[in-house]
Structure 1
Amino acid sequence: MASDPAFALPSSWPAMSLAKAQALLTAPGQPFEMTTATIRGVETRVWKNAPPSLRALIDASRGHGDRLMTIYEDERISYDANHRATAALAAHLSNLGVGKGDRVALAMRNLPEWPVAFFAIVSMGAIAVPLNAWWTGEELAYGLRDSGARVLIADGERHHRLGEHYSDLPELEQALVSRATTPLEGNAGRLEAVIGTPHDWARLPSAELPEAAIEPGDGAALFYTSGTTGAPKGALLTHRNLCTNILSGAYNSARSFLRRGEGIPAPSPRVVLTVIPLFHVTACSAGMMPAIAAGNTVIFMRRWDTVRAMEIIERERVNITGGVPTIAWQLIEHPDRARYDLSSLEAIAYGGAPSAPELAQRIYAEFGALPGNGWGMTETCATVTGHAGEDYLARPTSCGPAVPVADLQIRADDGTTVLPPGTVGELWARGPMIAAGYWRRPEASAETFVDGWVRTGDLARLDEEGFCFIVDRAKDMVIRGGENIYSIEVENVLYAHPAVTDCAVIGLPHRSWGEEPAAVVHLAPGETASEAELQAFVAARLAAFKVPVAICFVTDTLPRNANGKIMKKDLKALFADRVEAAA
C-alpha cells in the first residue's frame, strides 16, 4: 500500500482478484478471448480478436470517417483524409518498385506525415525503418546502411543532416522529403509532389491500398536499439507484434474497472496529446496502434513546451497524455498550472524511464487523473506489463503484472533456473509481442531470443500475485527521459579523444528525466582536457541527449574487478553532491 494516508485506498478495494478479472475478461466470446498460434516453432497465447495485420488496421480506420485522426498546429486531418494520403503514397512506392520485404526508412519529427508514411510502407508488405530523429547525420546514415533501405521518407531537417552522407549510401535509391525549405537535388524529391500537404489530403481520390498478401508473422518494422557493442541493432517487429498492443492496452484498462468494482464502459474515442517521438515503440506501438483502433484523435507538438501543452489540453479537451515521467512532473510543477483548465485529463500514463513512487500519487491528487505505467522494451514491442489506477497507487514501485498473453520469469545467472517469488534475478519474457530477432545479427539474436523468450537484461522480482518490480539493469544502459543511452557508445567516443586513456559512463538520478549520463575520465600523462572540451567532442559525434551532463576527472585509472570490468557502482560516489541534489 502507498504510505501516504491521503492516498489510503477504500477497504472494498480490490473488488476482484487479478485471477478472477482475467478469467472474466478472457472467457470465450469476450473481447479479450485468447487462442494459440505457432510463432517461430513455439505455441504461444495470442489475442483472438487482434487485427491480423497493420494493413487491416489502417483499412478499418476508414470507418472512423470524418473524425479527426491527427492534429498538428493548424493541420487537422480526418481518418478518411489520412487513408487517402496513405493509399496515394503506397501506390507511389509500389510504382518505384518497392515490394514485400523491402526496407523504407522514415526519419522525421512527429508530423501528420509520419503515420501516413508508416502505414503506406507496412500496408504493402514492406518494412518500415523508423530512425531516431535526434540522431546526427552519421547516425542516420548508419541506420540507412544497416537496414539496406531503398527509399527514405524524411522531413527537411533530417534530409539536411544527411546531406554529405548520401553519396555513401549506394542502396538508397530515392529520398522523399517533406516540408523542405531548400532546393532538392539528385534523387531527392518533394513528398508534397506525391500527396500534397496535409491540407490537401481530404481532396485526394479515395483509393484502395495496393494489393499485398500479409501474414501476422511477416516483418513490419525495424526499430533500432543500441547494444553492448555500441552499434545500434534493428529489432525486427512483426505485424502481430504491433497489433498485440491494441488488445493489451485495452485489457489493462478494462481490468482496472473490474478491480474497482465498476462495469466496463462502452468504448468512446478520446483525445490524446502525444509528446514522445513516434520512432520509439512506446509512442508507435503502445500509443498509436490502440489510438487508431479506437478512433482517438492524436495531437502532435513540434517540441515539448509545458505552457504550450497546457494550452492544448485546455483548448482541445485532452483526455490522455504522458509518455515519460518527465512530462508528468513538468505539468505538476509548473507555476502557472492553475491558470489552465486541465480538468479533461483522465489519465497520465508513462513508461520508458525510472519514476519516483510519489509521482503516481501526485497525479491522482493534483489532477484527479488516474496514473498509469508499464514495462516493455524495443525487443518486446513495448507493452508486456500494465499498471494503472488503484493498483498503481497501491504498488507505486511496481510496473504491474504481465498481460494475459505474456509470461514473465525471474531466472538465475545460469539462464535456466527459475527463481521463486520475491527473489531478484534476470527478467525473461515471452508472448506474441516478442520481436522476431535482430536484423542481420544471428549471433546477437541467438543470445537474446531463446525458445520464444527474450532475456531482457533487467534485474527484477515478482511478488506472489505476479506484480513485477524492476530493481536494476544488468545491461549497461542509462535511460534519460525514455531515450536509451548505452554507455559503451559514449565511452567509445571519449576514448577517441587523444587525451583520454580510461573512462566510464554511468547514470545519475534525475527527478524529471529519470537519469542523466555522466562520465568519469582518466587522462593520459601530460595531457589536458576540460569538461566543456570533452562534452563538445561527444556532441559533435552523438545526439545531444547522449552527451554527459558532468565529467569527473580522476588521477588514477578506474577501479576494476578481477575480470577487468570497471566497477561502475563505485563511481557514483564521485557525483555525491549531484545525486543528493536530485534526490
Structure 2
Amino acid sequence: MQDQPLVTLDPSWPALSLADAEALLTAPGAKFEMETITLRGVPTRVWKNAPPSLAWLAQAARAHGARVFTIYEDERVTFEAQYRAVAMLATRLQAMGVAKGDRVALAMRNLPEWPVIFFAAASIGAIVVPLNAWWTAGELEYGVDDSGARVLFVDDERHQRFIEAAPALPAVERLIVARASSPLEGRASRLEDLIGTPHDYAALEEVPFPQVPIAPDDDATIFYTSGTTGSPKGALGTHRNLMTNIMSSGYGAARALLRRGEPVPDPVPRTSLTVIPLFHVTACSAGLMGMVASGSTAIFMRKWDVVRAMELIEREQVHMTGGVPTIAWQLLEHPERSRYDLSSLEVIAYGGAPSAPELVRRIHEEFGALPGNGWGMTETMATVTSHAAEDYLNRPTSAGPPVAVADLKIMDEDGAREVPVGQVGELWARGPMVVKGYWNKPEATAETFVDGWVRTGDLARLDDEGFVYIVDRAKDMIIRGGENIYSSEVENVLYAHPAVTDCALIGLPHRVLGEEPAAVVHLAPGLTASEAELQAWVRARLAVFKTPVAIRFVDQTLPRNANGKILKKDLKALFEDRASAAA
C-alpha cells in the first residue's frame, strides 16, 4: 500500500535519490564519512568522525562558552558554567570513590542538574542509570537494586518518595538530593553542598577535568525498558551508541536538504523546548547529545503546560519542539494559540507514539514548520531511521529510511528467513547504535540480540526504497503519549486484586496520545469490584499513566486461542464507544 502525499510537492522534488544523497554525504573526506570496524565480532559501519566519548563531548562543549545551554524558569546555565559544574562534580564523585564501571543512578525531572550529573558520572567512566522519574517507590527501588548503583541522585520529589524505601537499598552508599525541602539525615546529602545551585555554576572554581581512559565501546548507560514478561530490563549502552546519535541526527537533516536541492550549511545553534523527559533515550540520546555538540539551548519545563509552552516559544524564539505527537496536537488545538507568536518554530519532531497523517499536514500548513519523525527504541539508543520535511509529507505513515550506518530487514516469525519487500514481518535492526545487551540478563540478551542485529518485536514492512512502515507491535506494549505501558505489568497488578480471576490490558487508539490503556476483567463468582476501585488499586501500585482509563467487566473468562493466549483483538469491540469518541 502506497502512501498518499499530504501536499502537492514541487515537481523537481526530490533533487537527489536516497542513494545519491548518501553517496555525497558519506564520500571520503566528507563530514558523514563511514568506516567499517568490528564491533562485538561483527563488521559494522560507523561514523568515522563521531566524537569518541561523553567525556570528550563534555570538554569540547566548553568552546560554546557564553551561549546558554539550559533554561529552567529563571535559571540560565551557559556552556562555560555547565563545564565548570561537570568538572567539579566529576572530581567530587572520584573523591567519594566512584570509579570506572560503577553505577550512578539518577531519578529526577528535567532540571539543569540532570545533564550535569549525567556528564559528570559518564566522564569518569561510571555507568549512568537514568531512572523513570514517574515510577513508584517500588519501581525505583527495583532499578536501583538491579543496577547495583553505589550513588543515587534524586530531586526533592523523588527523595520524598524514597524516604520509606531508602533503607532497603543496601548497595547505595550515597543518596544525593537536589533542591531538598527538608533536613537530610544519614547517607543523604545535598547536591548544592557539592556544586551549589545552577545560579552558582558560573562562579565555581575551575578544577582540572578528570582524565580517565575511556574507549568508544566502554559501557556508558543503563536505560530501563520493560519486556512483555518479567521485570524491567536495563539496556546497556556504550559511549559510541550515544555519540552515533549526534551524527545520525545531523545526517538526517542534511539528507533532507539535499533531497530538496539545497546545500548543507555548517550547523548553527538552535533553541529547543525540551518537554520529553531526559530519562528517555529520545530526549537524552537523540535530543540532548546533538544540542551539546551544536551549542544549542534546551529549555526545560517543570511539567507540561501548553499555555506556558506557547509563552516560552514566543519569549525565547524557540526553533524546535515536540518529542511525542501529544505535544503537537495540544499546540495546534489550543483555543488561545492565536494570542502567541509561534512563527519561530521551524521543526516539530516526534517519535515514540503512533501519529496520524492529519497531524503531519497540520504542522506544515498551520505552523509553516516542517514535521519530523523517526524510529528507534531503547535497545537502539534512539535513532535508526530519520523521516523529515518533504519525505515525511510524501510518506506520512512511514517512519522513514534508515540512516547510512544502519541496516533494516524484515524477518519471518521464526527469525529464520528474510521476507520479500512489501511483506510484513518482524523488524530487525543493525548498526553502531545498537546496545550491547541487557544488564545481567544473558538469556534475554541472547533472545533479542543476534549477530549484531536486534530483534525489535515490531511488525513492519519495507518499501522498494527502504522506507519502513511500522504495522503493529509483536511485543505486548501500549504507548500512551510516548510512555511505554507493558500489559503484563498492569495485568499482574490487577490479578493481585482478590476479586479478579481473569484480565487483559489492551490499547485503545487516541487521537492525541496515540493510545490509552484499557482493561477487560472477569471477577470471581460472588465477589465484586467497581471500575473506580480497580483503577485506584492499579494507581496505588504503578505509575499513574499505567492506570486503565476504562475497565469493562465480562461474565465469562476471556477468549483464548489453542495455546492459551488471550485473543486481545476480540476484546476491542467492548470499547467501541470510547474508541470512537477518542478518534
Same fold (TM over 0.5): yes
How many angstroms does 1:265 deviate by? 2.1
Query: Secondary structure of 1:548's match?
Result: coil
> What residue in structure 2 maps to residue 493 of structure 1?
493
Alignment-mate amino acid for residue 111 of structure 1: L
Taking the aligned partners of 1:475 and 1:350, their CA distance within structure 2 comes to: 21
Asked if 1:538 is matched to 2:538, the reply is yes
> What residue in structure 2 maps to residue 525 of structure 1?
525
CA RMSD of aligned residues (A): 0.9
- How many residue pairs get aligned? The number is 582
Asked if 1:171 is matched to 2:210, the reply is no
**Deviation per residue, 1:514-572 (Å, 9 max, x gap):** 00100000000000000000000000000000000000000000000000000111110
How many angstroms does 1:3 deviate by? 4.3
Taking the aligned partners of 2:378 and 2:314, their CA distance within structure 1 comes to: 33
> What residue in structure 2 maps to residue 51 of structure 1?
51
> What residue in structure 2 maps to residue 123 of structure 1?
123
> What residue in structure 2 maps to residue 32 of structure 1?
32
Alignment-mate amino acid for residue 144 of structure 2: L
Taking the aligned partners of 1:206 and 1:28, their CA distance within structure 2 comes to: 40
> What residue in structure 2 maps to residue 329 of structure 1?
329
Q: Which stretch shifts more, 506-515 or 200-209?
A: 200-209
> What residue in structure 2 maps to residue 103 of structure 1?
103
How many angstroms does 1:312 deviate by? 0.2
Question: TM-score normalised to the size of structure 2?
Answer: 0.99
Taking the aligned partners of 1:227 and 1:257, their CA distance within structure 2 comes to: 38
| Structure-to-structure mapping, 1:35-434, within 5 angstroms | 35-434=35-434
Taking the aligned partners of 1:170 and 1:356, their CA distance within structure 2 comes to: 47
Alignment-mate amino acid for residue 437 of structure 1: G
Question: TM-score normalised to the size of structure 1?
Answer: 0.99
How many angstroms does 1:263 deviate by? 1.0
8 Å Cα contact 1:124/1:209 also seen in 2: no
Query: Secondary structure of 2:165's match?
Result: helix
Alignment-mate amino acid for residue 293 of structure 1: A
How many angstroms does 1:414 deviate by? 1.8
Taking the aligned partners of 2:210 and 2:249, their CA distance within structure 1 comes to: 30
**Deviation per residue, 1:95-134 (Å, 9 max, x gap):** 1100000000000000000000000010000000000000
Q: Which stretch shifts more, 161-170 or 192-201?
A: 161-170
8 Å Cα contact 2:241/2:433 also seen in 1: yes
How many angstroms does 1:209 deviate by? 2.0
Alignment-mate amino acid for residue 527 of structure 2: E
**Deviation per residue, 1:332-380 (Å, 9 max, x gap):** 0111111100010000000000111111110000000000000000000
Taking the aligned partners of 2:484 and 2:237, their CA distance within structure 1 comes to: 18
Taking the aligned partners of 1:3 and 1:424, their CA distance within structure 2 comes to: 20
8 Å Cα contact 2:424/2:460 also seen in 1: yes
> What residue in structure 2 maps to residue 454 of structure 1?
454
Taking the aligned partners of 1:159 and 1:237, their CA distance within structure 2 comes to: 26
Taking the aligned partners of 2:507 and 2:237, their CA distance within structure 1 comes to: 29
Alignment-mate amino acid for residue 417 of structure 2: T
**Deviation per residue, 1:267-288 (Å, 9 max, x gap):** 2100010000000000000000
8 Å Cα contact 1:67/1:295 also seen in 2: yes
Alignment-mate amino acid for residue 330 of structure 1: Q
> What residue in structure 2 maps to residue 569 of structure 1?
569
Taking the aligned partners of 1:288 and 1:87, their CA distance within structure 2 comes to: 18
Query: Secondary structure of 2:166's match?
Result: helix
Shift >2 Å, 4+ stretches: 1-5
How many angstroms does 1:211 deviate by? 2.1
CA distance 1:2–1:415, shift in 2 (3 Å) = closer
How many angstroms does 1:205 deviate by? 1.5
> What residue in structure 2 maps to residue 11 of structure 1?
11
Taking the aligned partners of 2:282 and 2:288, their CA distance within structure 1 comes to: 9
How many angstroms does 1:36 deviate by? 1.4
Query: Secondary structure of 1:164's match?
Result: coil
8 Å Cα contact 1:230/1:486 also seen in 2: no
Alignment-mate amino acid for residue 581 of structure 1: A
Task: Could you tell me which runs of 5 or more consecutive residues in structure 2 were left unpaired when the two chains were aligned.
Answer: none
Alignment-mate amino acid for residue 552 of structure 2: C
How many angstroms does 1:167 deviate by? 1.2
Alignment-mate amino acid for residue 415 of structure 2: G
Taking the aligned partners of 1:482 and 1:37, their CA distance within structure 2 comes to: 34
How many angstroms does 1:266 deviate by? 2.5
Taking the aligned partners of 2:113 and 2:98, their CA distance within structure 1 comes to: 19
Taking the aligned partners of 2:68 and 2:551, their CA distance within structure 1 comes to: 47
How many angstroms does 1:180 deviate by? 0.5
CA distance 1:460–1:3, shift in 2 (3 Å) = closer
Query: Secondary structure of 1:525's match?
Result: coil
Taking the aligned partners of 1:159 and 1:210, their CA distance within structure 2 comes to: 29
Taking the aligned partners of 2:19 and 2:485, their CA distance within structure 1 comes to: 37
Query: Secondary structure of 1:379's match?
Result: helix
8 Å Cα contact 1:2/1:8 also seen in 2: no
Taking the aligned partners of 1:229 and 1:377, their CA distance within structure 2 comes to: 18
Taking the aligned partners of 1:507 and 1:290, their CA distance within structure 2 comes to: 33
Taking the aligned partners of 1:308 and 1:459, their CA distance within structure 2 comes to: 38
